[in-house]
């Protein structure tokens, strides 16, 4: 999975977390707004992620995760938020800076490094920004 695909999944997962009615799914326009890109760009990547079995859509309907896609998105978000905790608690970054820095670092850390970091931090439950750190993402095949 490339960096762009991971960024999409993380953004879509963040939008999903904020939905009041999760059964409705996400709209492409909201994803475009979240990534600060055009809706046609989102449509192309959504099509690609659908072909990879990570998302499901019907014509003119909202976007939903597949089971595989949800697990993958949770893993990406887990990694991102564990890095945020590390930056805030260990490296003493300001809370306002942890998201952007974690975004850069999440692509550089291996899964083994994240596993060790998570353990070192005692498996934190919340990010410095108050978001839940998902720890259940079994069944993801790389």
The 3 state secondary structure assigned to 102-138 is HHHHCCCCCHHHHHHHHHHCCCCCECCCCCECCCCCC
Q: What pLDDT does residue 138 have?
A: 52
Q: What pLDDT does residue 142 have?
A: 47
Average pLDDT of the residues in 1-12? 88
Radius of gyration of the chain (CA): 15
14-59 confidence digits (pLDDT tens): 999 999 998 888 998 999 998 889 988 898 999 999 999 999 997 7
Q: Indicate the pTM of the whole model.
A: 0.88
What the block records as the tokens of 96 is 């306002």
Q: Which domains does the chain have, with CATH numbers?
A: 3-65 (1.10.10.10), 66-142 (1.10.10.10)
Within 36-91, residue ranges assigned H as helices are 39-51, 67-85
**Low-confidence winner among 42-46, 56-60, 93-97, 98-102 (lowest mean pLDDT):** 56-60
């Amino acid at each position: 999975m490339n960096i762009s695909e991971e960024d999409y999944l993380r953004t879509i997962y963040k939008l999903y977390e904020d939905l009041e009615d999760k059964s409705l799914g996400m709209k492409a326009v909201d994803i475009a707004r979240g990534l600060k890109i055009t809706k046609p760009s989102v449509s192309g990547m959504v099509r690609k992620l659908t072909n990879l079995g990570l998302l499901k859509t019907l014509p003119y309907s909202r976007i939903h995760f597949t089971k595989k896609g949800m697990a993958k998105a949770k893993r990406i978000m887990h990694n991102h938020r564990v890095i945020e905790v590390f930056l805030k608690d260990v490296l003493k970054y300001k809370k306002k800076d942890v998201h952007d820095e974690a975004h850069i670092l999440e692509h550089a850390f291996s899964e083994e490094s994240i596993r060790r970091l998570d353990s070192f931090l005692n498996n934190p439950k919340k990010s410095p920004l108050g978001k839940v750190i998902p720890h259940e993402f079994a069944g993801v095949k790389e």
